[in-house]
């Protein structure tokens, strides 16, 4: 009976609160609660239980969890949920040899462009970053010239972008423009044939230096495929594919511009194991002193040689029953050639004779390079 009366009192309190009668609602709460409890004790106890069971995060903790704090905005490294959903965050730090290759490219381009332009050229590496291919195409400042090239041994493509400032500077330098003058730029017009030809020569010089930069690591030939001015026609990968972007700055006294080299991860995948190794010296981990010592010891290593006059087959039982005085008839004649052997490797042939009291062999022909290679592999 007590339970039924309590339920009726709670229902009456809800109806009173809905109807706007706050005084009737308070009286209903007083009637529904046990003796000694006020109308505000039940809500307060519920709030206290909820607060005690879970701790509420403040705004700084929420921003840190999501990765949207002010410190994260200024930092190049993102964290939290934003680092998981941001499509631009693709780390290239797993390939430490890339920085070595591109530093070598900068040094080679400095020398090559000085010879190409007959001017004082300084090439600097601005940044190496990873991004999605589609995001890069959308970020290219137009007008620009995009050179699509193919990495022959890697069986994939890359992209070289030359901005308008560098295009007009190269044209001005190669056509004999005066120093100290700013290259004239006419916006809103397509590039002329002369400009495209001169920029093509510049791209070929850069691709040649890129091949030499990769030579200590692996042999890669970069062949120019085509020249484009519209980024939509330079799509060499899917928009969501990750790629390495290298930003280079080329300065020619008071003129210059930027060029950007983009290599998709699919292009670098065949040499990924080589790019994972650590850099040790200019020879990429090779020790010249140890190589010289090893070569010297190999040339002075002792080798056992055999001169074989003839070979024939006999039953094992007959060979086991050989007695003193038995004669083995060989197929060799006095004019037959003997074979010089090193283990199981045939080196050359010759004729057996005598010098003094010793049996000698005169070599008829030199050892071939293929035989030398087999002998070195066997050693």
- Encode pLDDT of 47-85 as tens digits: 455 455 567 878 777 777 766 655 555 455 555 555 555
Is residue 356 predicted with pLDDT exceeding 60?
A: yes
- Residue 287: the pLDDT is 64
CATH number of this structure's domain 302-378, picked from the four choices 2.30.330.10, 2.40.50.1020, 3.30.70.20, 2.40.160.210? 2.30.330.10
Give the bridge partners for 353, in sequence order.
Answer: 360
Domain ranges of the chain: 2-85, 97-275, 302-378
- Encode pLDDT of 205-236 as tens digits: 999 999 999 988 888 899 999 998 888 888 88
Q: 302-378: same fold as 97-275?
A: no
Is residue 105 predicted with pLDDT exceeding 70?
A: yes
- Residue 53: the pLDDT is 55
Fold (CATH) for 97-275? Chemotaxis protein chec (3.40.1550)
- Encode pLDDT of 276-327 as tens digits: 776 544 444 556 788 788 888 878 888 888 888 888 888 888 888 888 888 8
- Encode pLDDT of 139-170 as tens digits: 888 888 999 999 988 889 999 999 888 888 88
pTM of the model: 0.53
**Over pLDDT 70: what percentage of the chain?**
70
Reported confidence tier of residue 107, pLDDT bands at 50, 70, 90: very high
């Amino acid at each position: 009976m007590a339970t039924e009366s309590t339920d009726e009192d709670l229902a009456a309190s809800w109806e009173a609160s809905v109807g706007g009668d706050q005084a009737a609602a308070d009286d209903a709460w007083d009637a529904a609660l046990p003796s000694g409890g006020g109308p505000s004790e039940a809500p307060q106890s519920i709030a206290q239980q909820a607060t005690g069971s879970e701790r509420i995060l403040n705004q700084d903790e929420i921003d840190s969890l999501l990765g949207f704090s002010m410190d994260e905005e200024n930092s190049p490294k993102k964290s939290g949920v934003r680092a998981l959903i941001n499509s631009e965050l693709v780390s290239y730090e797993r390939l430490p040899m890339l920085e070595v290759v591109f530093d070598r490219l900068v040094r080679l381009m400095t020398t090559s462009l000085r010879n190409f332009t007959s001017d004082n050229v300084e090439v600097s590496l601005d940044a190496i970053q990873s991004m999605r291919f589609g995001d890069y195409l959308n970020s290219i400042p137009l007008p620009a010239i995009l050179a699509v090239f193919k990495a022959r041994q890697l069986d994939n493509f890359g992209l070289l972008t030359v901005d308008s400032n560098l295009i007009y500077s190269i044209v001005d330098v190669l056509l004999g423009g005066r120093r100290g003058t700013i290259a004239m730029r006419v916006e809103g017009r397509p590039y002329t044939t002369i400009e495209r030809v001169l920029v093509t020569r510049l791209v070929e010089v850069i691709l040649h230096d890129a091949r030499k930069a990769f030579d200590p690591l692996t042999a890669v030939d970069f062949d120019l495929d085509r020249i484009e001015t519209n980024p939509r026609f330079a799509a060499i990968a899917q928009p969501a594919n990750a790629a390495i972007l290298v930003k280079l700055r080329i300065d020619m006294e008071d003129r210059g511009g930027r060029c950007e080299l983009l290599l998709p991860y699919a292009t670098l995948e065949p040499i990924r194991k080589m790019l994972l190794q650590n850099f040790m010296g200019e020879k990429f981990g090779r020790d010249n002193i140890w190589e010289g010592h090893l070569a010297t010891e190999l040339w002075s290593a002792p080798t056992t040689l055999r001169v074989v006059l003839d070979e024939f087959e006999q039953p094992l039982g007959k060979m086991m029953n050989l007695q003193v005085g038995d004669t083995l008839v060989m197929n060799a004649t006095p004019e037959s050639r003997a074979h010089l052997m090193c283990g199981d490797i045939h080196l050359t042939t010759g004729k057996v004779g005598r010098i003094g009291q010793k049996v000698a062999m005169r070599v008829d022909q030199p050892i071939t390079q293929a035989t030398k290679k087999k002998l070195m592999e066997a050693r």
